[in-house]
Structure 1
């Protein structure tokens, strides 16, 4: 089978965003007198959308969705102020994307980050055009529900077997499997190898360039 496209997760896969996320989270927490979190703690809390981030930060509020939604709105406001401070592509990502684009691969981003943030960060921080970019939207379920991945495949005019899904969390691996995509895990992101393998990763990447032989060896076969 020839791979014709690659769908990427954003945070922890293409972009190192955890410092700015942690700053925004801790600003909200401190405003309410709640405990703050280290970057390492925050890495284990992100990946399932802003609402779930707030629930993990304050689990005792899990059933009080009005309060959680208020915290989400505060987090959005704080994150909008700081996301440009430290968020950058991981080393090797610009070169990987440039090479994939040059070789004619269709590229897409699928994230549980709110769509407006996803869209502007892809545009401002990554070096190549993407054929499809989807962040969290109210009308589409979050990953690991495969609905958004299937919409991206439709946008790219690809079958599931023609695309890889590259991400750094169990949510990403489960999304790929549910959508019929080949799941590929990265080891420079927010989670560890065991989580990715236990969730169905077919391959693990130590560095971005490791994706190239995985894609192009298949294309030569």
Structure 2
């Protein structure tokens, strides 16, 4: 058993636990073609990930001239439908994820997923990859409902991270993610945050403002030990 200096850990999903860009990129391209737009390169779809599927598609559409709101909604629904049916074709855990999660579980660490992906999609992907049982809760971009402005309370709002902390016992909690959305949500929730440099970072990893940066998932436990020693 490994001694971990945190009681619970929250994980972002896309770009942190799972390499999802190929399936997300295919869904974006499906919608773009329906709308008469040019496809984006699958590799470049990494740059669109971060704020959830709606923002991902919006960025791709805006880069090609934009659409009226009603037409965009139609494409967005088409994208979600395609992704629902094809969300684990190429998606896979990053190297080391299964082994590290098993070590954390054996050490009594409680774990949660906090993603801007819709909760049902996140649960579906994790179930297909046989990872769902590692987590006490999965909080998606739609799990917390909407705020007064009508927008979902998703990252960078701290509410999902706070909910994950509560669901895992309100002990010493740390969050792991790969974007400014993750860092801002963790900061707002008042918990330390580790940046996944191997993910889809929307800024250079060392400029995200995290407390630690890891180059691979296998580096997570040493980073947690270093954070614990420093606090």
Q: Same fold (TM over 0.5)?
A: yes
**Which of 166, 169, 173 lines up with 1:154 in the alignment?**
166
RMSD of Structure 2 on Structure 1 (CA): 2.1
How far has the Cα of 1:214 moved from its partner?
A: 2.6
**Which of 13, 35, 38 lines up with 1:35 in the alignment?**
38
Distance 1:126 1:144 in 2: 28
Where do 5+ consecutive residues of structure 1 fail to align?
none
**Which of 161, 174, 178 lines up with 2:188 in the alignment?**
178
Q: Mark the CA change 1:199 to 1:219 in structure 2 (over 3 Å): closer, same or farther.
A: closer
2:104 matches 1:100: yes
2:17 matches 1:14: yes
Greater helix fraction, Structure 1 or Structure 2 = 1
2:208 matches 1:199: yes
Where do 5+ consecutive residues of structure 2 fail to align?
147-151
The secondary structure found in structure 1 opposite 2:154 is coil
2:214 matches 1:209: no
Distance 1:70 1:165 in 2: 34
Distance 2:204 2:118 in 1: 24
Distance 1:85 1:94 in 2: 19
How far has the Cα of 1:86 moved from its partner?
A: 0.6
User: How many residues of Structure 1 are paired with residues of Structure 2 in the alignment?
Assistant: 217
Q: Tell me the TM-score normalized by structure 2.
A: 0.86
How far has the Cα of 1:66 moved from its partner?
A: 2.6
Q: Tell me the TM-score normalized by structure 1.
A: 0.90
Distance 1:57 1:78 in 2: 16
